[in-house]
Chains A and B, each alone.
Chain A
Amino acid sequence: MKLTINDREYEVPDQNPHRVLLWVLRDELGLVGTRFGCGAGICGACTVHVNGVATRACLTPASTLTGARIRTVEGLSTPGPDGQPRLHPVQRAFLDAQVAQCGWCMSGQMMSAAALLEHNPSPTPEQVVEAMQNNYCRCGTYCRIKKAVLSAAQQLAQETKP
C-alpha cells in the first residue's frame, strides 16, 4: 500500500485493513508529531489533513487513503530557500503568542487551524470557535489558541496581498 504523506510517497505494509492512520504514522513511519489522545475521535490530538480536510487519524483506516494527499504537522512547515524549514503562519502565530504549555495537543490544534484558514482565510472569532471546539487542550490554552488563529489569518492576508 502506498500513502502520500507531506508530498512524499511511503510504502506501508498492509498488515491489517482496519489499521488506522494514526498508528501507521506514528509506529510504522516514525511520524510521531501526530498525537494519540483518545482513539475515539473526540480530543482532536491526532488531527491531520486528508485532501486538505481536517481529519481524525485515530478513526481513519489507512487502507482508505491510497491516492489521497495526507498532510501531518511534520509537513506544515515548508522548506525555505536556504533549506531551513519555513514555519507555517499558524506555527509562527502559535509561537508568537506562546500558546503551548505541555504541547501534546498542539499538532492537532494547528492542523485544525490550518485547515480552517485554507477554506476560510478570514474567519470571525465565532468561526474560529466553531472550527476549533473539537480540539481539547487540557492545559487550558484556549484563549491563546483563539488569538493565535486570528493573528495567523491576518498574517496570511498580509502575505497574500498583491
Chain B
Amino acid sequence: MSDAVATKKGWRPSRRQFLLGLGVGGVGALALGLPAIRLGVARAFDKGFTPSGDSLDPTVWFEVLPDDRVRLHLPKVEMGQGIHTALAQIAAEELEVPWERMEAVHATTTHGPVDNRGTSGSMTVVGLYQPLREAAATLREMLRAEAARQLGVPASSVVAAAGTLSVREQPGKTLRYGEVVAKHTGTWEVPEQPPALKPAKDFQVIGKPMPRVDLEAKLTGQGVYGYDQRLPGMLYGATARPPRLGSTLRAAREGKARQQPGVVEVLIGSDFASVAAESREQAHAALAHLELEWTRGESLQQADVDARTTVKDGAGVLVQDEGDVPEHLGRGKQLSAEYRTPLAAHAHLEPQAALVEVKPERVRVWMATQSPGSIRKQVAKALERDEESVELVPMYLGGGFGRRLDAHAAIEAARLSRATGRPVHVGWTRAEEFRHGFFRPPTHHVLKASLEESGRVLAFEHQQASGDVLFSLIPEAAGVVLGADPGSWRGATIRYAAMPHRRTRAQRVRLPVPTATWRGLGLLANTFALEGFMDELAHAAGEDPLAFRLKHLGDDELGRRFRRVLEAAAKQAGWGTPAPEGRARGLACSVDMNTVVAQVAEVSVDNGRPRVHRVTCAVDCGLVINPDGATAQVEGGIMMALSSTLSERITLEDGRVEAENFYDYPLLTMRDAPDIDTLLVGDGDKPLGMGEPPMGPVAAAVANALFTLTGKRLRTLPLKL
C-alpha cells in the first residue's frame, strides 16, 4: 500500500475479534426438513464473504490519499453487478466522506483484504454490509482520535463530517482526512470500544441512487478488462483444443508449428500443446501446423443428454419433506406435468483472458475472474511455485455469470510465459468459449399435486433431475455427504406454506458435458417448473392465478413478503383488467437469497413467435443500498432470463457442442427487449441478494401468459409455440 496508508501495526489481533464476532452470517433460502448434516454443509455454500486474518482491519481496506480521496480496496470483483458502487456507498456512509472523493478498486491477492471465496451467489453486499460499515466506522474513529491529538483537543470534541475533522465550536480548527493521515507518525491507536453505527434513519448515502464509480472509465474506452491488459514485449498464446468432449492428447509433435511466422515457442505437455507468437493471429494460425493425435472422446448425441436427464421416480435425495406427501398425493384431483430446460451458455461478451508475467522472483497474473484466490492457487500449482510468489490482479470483468471460475486462460498463459521469459496474453476465441468451457446443466422436472374440491392443494411434489452445478467444483467426497447438489436444487423447494404436504427430491445426473455455475444456478429452471405447474393447478381449480397463489401462502414472514410483491406487481401491471388487444398476462414468483420477487409478463404472438412487451417486477430485497443499481439488476436479470426463455439452447452432436458462435446461439437483442417496470417494495433493515433473484420468475411468467393467450401449455425451454 502507499505511504499515505495508515500502517496497520497498531491493529492487534484481538481487536479483530469484536468485528469478527459481529461478522457475516449464513444467508440463503434453506429448505425445511433437510437432515441436519446436509443442512450444515448446504449452509456452507450459502455463506458469503468469510472474514479472515486482516480482513476487517480498516487499514487494509482503505487508502486515504493526501488529496483526501479515499480509495477502497475491494475483495469482491465488479462484473457489472454494481457492487463496487454499493460497497463504496456503505463505506462512505460511516466514514463520512463526500461521494465524489470515494474510489473503489479491486484488491489484489497481495494488496488489500483477502477473499478466497470468490464473487458469486448474490452474496457480496449481503456479506459485506456489516463488516464494511464496522471497518469504515473504526477508521473514522481512528482518524478522529488522531486529529484530536494533532489539534491538541479531546477526541470527544472532534466531529467527522464531509471528509474533514473539526473541533466543535471552534470553526478555525479543522483538518482534512488527507492531512491527518499525512501528518501521522508512529502506530495507529485502535479505539477501545466498537464504534457505534449510524441508525438507518440517519443514512445520507445508503439508499440513494449514487452514480456508479466504474462507468466513466468504461464509457471512455479505457483498458480496464482482462482482455485489455498489455505489457511491453508481450507475446500471445494459443492452445490446441480437442475435437470432442473427453478427447485427450494421445501424441503431440511440433510439426511445422515452430517454423510458422511469428512463432516464438511451441510448448507440448502431457495433456496440452500451446504456441506463443508475436501476434494473436500468428499463435492461433500456428496451431494448425502441430501434429496432434487425439483419443476419440465422447460420441454423445443430444437425445442421449435428454434421456440421461430424466427423473427416475423416487430416486435422488429429499431436500424438502413436510407433512406426508406419499399419504396424501393420491387423494382428490390428481395432476402431473413434466418440464425441461436445456444446456445453456453464459455468453458473456468478453471471452476468458489473462496476461501472465513469470519472473524468477514473482509471477503476476492480470485476469478478469470471479475467483482471484482460486486462480492464484491453480497458477501456482501449474508452475510448481509457492502461492506467495504469485500475485493475482483482478481486472473488471466483461460479464461473469458464473463462468469466470475457470483458470485455463491463466494457466495456459503462465506456462508460455515461463517457457519464453516474456509476458504472455491468452485470450479465448468465441468458439473456444462455446465449445471448451462449461454450461448451465440441463434439467428435467416431474411435478405432481392433489387438489381438493375446495380448490386447495393438499399435496405437492417436485422431483427434479439436473446435471452438476456445484458438485463439479467441489471434492467428490463432499458431494457424497450432500447427496444432492445445492446449486441444482436452488429454488426447487415449494414455498407455499399453506399446502400441508410438500416434498422436493433432487437427483444428480452425471453427464460427460461439463456443467457448473450459471447466474442463479438452478433458480430459473426450478422456478419455471414450479410456477408453471402452480399456474396449471390454478387453471385446473378454475381460479385466478393471483388469488390461487395468495391463498396458498403461509401466515409467516415469508408469506407476508410474498403477498406484498405479488399484490404490488399485479396492481402495477393491471392484473384483473383486460390486457391490450392480442395480448395476455402471466404471473410468477420466487424467493432466492432471501429476496422475494413477483413478475407479471405481458405477451403476444408475432408470426408464430412469442413476444414479450412488458415485464412488471416487484422485489423485496430488504434494505436497498442503491435503488438505481437494484433496478438495473432487475432489468438485466429479466433480459438474460428472457433470452433463455425464448432463444437459448446448447445442443450436442457426436460428442461435440454444436454451437460455434452466436449464429448458432442467438441472444435476444434490443428488438426483443420488453419494457421493464421495477418496484422495490422491501422494508427490511439489511440488504438481501440482488444479482440473481430477479431472474427467477421470468420463464414461468412468460409461459403462463402464453397459456392464457393461446391455450397451449409450454413446458420446455426455450418456449416454442
Residues of A participating in the B interface, judged by any CB pair closer than 8 Å = 15-16, 19, 23, 26-28, 30-40, 42-43, 45, 72-74, 76-77, 85, 87, 91, 94-95, 98, 100-107, 110, 128-129, 132-146
A143 and B676 in contact, given A36-B351, A103-B214, A105-B349 (Cβ under 8 angstroms):
yes
User: In the complex, A9 Cα to B106 Cα: how many Å?
Assistant: 35
Residues of B participating in the A interface, judged by any CB pair closer than 8 Å = 79-82, 209, 211-212, 214-216, 218-223, 225, 227-228, 230, 236, 261-262, 279-281, 347-351, 396-401, 427, 429-430, 628, 632, 635-640, 642-643, 661-663, 667, 669-671, 673-676
What's the minimum C-beta distance from A81 to chain B, rounded to whole angstroms?
18
Asked if B673 and A142 sit within 8 Å, CB to CB, the answer is: yes
Asked if A140 and B212 sit within 8 Å, CB to CB, the answer is: no
| Residue among A28, A38, A134 facing the most chain B CB atoms (10 A cut-off) | A38
Asked if A104 and B638 sit within 8 Å, CB to CB, the answer is: no
What's the minimum C-beta distance from B441 to chain A, rounded to whole angstroms?
20
Asked if A35 and B349 sit within 8 Å, CB to CB, the answer is: yes
Asked if A27 and B279 sit within 8 Å, CB to CB, the answer is: yes
Asked if A32 and B228 sit within 8 Å, CB to CB, the answer is: yes
Interface of A is mostly: loop
Asked if B349 and A37 sit within 8 Å, CB to CB, the answer is: yes
| Nearest-neighbor residue (CB-CB) of B350 within chain A | A104
A140 and B220 in contact, given A43-B349, A104-B349, A134-B669 (Cβ under 8 angstroms):
no
What are 20 residue pairs bridging A and B, where the CB atoms are less than 8 Å apart in the complex? Answer: A19-B279, A23-B279, A27-B236, A32-B228, A36-B227, A37-B430, A42-B662, A73-B220, A77-B220, A95-B219, A100-B212, A100-B219, A102-B348, A104-B225, A135-B669, A137-B349, A139-B399, A142-B639, A143-B675, A145-B670
Asked if B350 and A102 sit within 8 Å, CB to CB, the answer is: yes
B399 CB contact (under 8 Å) in A91, A104, A145: A104
User: In the complex, A132 Cα to B668 Cα: how many Å?
Assistant: 12
A142 and B669 in contact, given A40-B663, A42-B661 (Cβ under 8 angstroms):
yes
| Nearest-neighbor residue (CB-CB) of A105 within chain B | B349
| Nearest-neighbor residue (CB-CB) of B643 within chain A | A140
B638 CB contact (under 8 Å) in A132, A140, A144: A140
| Nearest-neighbor residue (CB-CB) of B227 within chain A | A36
B222 CB contact (under 8 Å) in A33, A87, A129: A33
A138 and B349 in contact, given A95-B215, A101-B632 (Cβ under 8 angstroms):
yes
Asked if B635 and A129 sit within 8 Å, CB to CB, the answer is: no
List the A side residues contacting B662 at CB < 8 Å: 38, 40, 42-43, 136
Asked if B632 and A98 sit within 8 Å, CB to CB, the answer is: yes
What's the minimum C-beta distance from B128 to chain A, rounded to whole angstroms?
19
| Nearest-neighbor residue (CB-CB) of A28 within chain B | B279
What's the minimum C-beta distance from B422 to chain A, rounded to whole angstroms?
14
Asked if A144 and B635 sit within 8 Å, CB to CB, the answer is: yes
List the A side residues contacting B262 at CB < 8 Å: 15
Asked if B236 and A133 sit within 8 Å, CB to CB, the answer is: no
What's the minimum C-beta distance from A146 to chain B, rounded to whole angstroms?
6
Asked if B640 and A140 sit within 8 Å, CB to CB, the answer is: yes
List the B side residues contacting A34 at CB < 8 Å: 221
Asked if B640 and A138 sit within 8 Å, CB to CB, the answer is: yes
Asked if A38 and B215 sit within 8 Å, CB to CB, the answer is: no
Asked if A95 and B216 sit within 8 Å, CB to CB, the answer is: yes
A102 and B398 in contact, given A27-B236, A140-B639 (Cβ under 8 angstroms):
yes
Asked if B220 and A98 sit within 8 Å, CB to CB, the answer is: no
List the A side residues contacting B209 at CB < 8 Å: 98
Asked if B81 and A101 sit within 8 Å, CB to CB, the answer is: yes
User: In the complex, A28 Cα to B230 Cα: how many Å?
Assistant: 10
Asked if B215 and A140 sit within 8 Å, CB to CB, the answer is: no
Asked if B223 and A33 sit within 8 Å, CB to CB, the answer is: yes
| Residue among B230, B349, B643, B675 facing the most chain A CB atoms (10 A cut-off) | B349
| Nearest-neighbor residue (CB-CB) of B640 within chain A | A140
List the A side residues contacting B81 at CB < 8 Å: 101
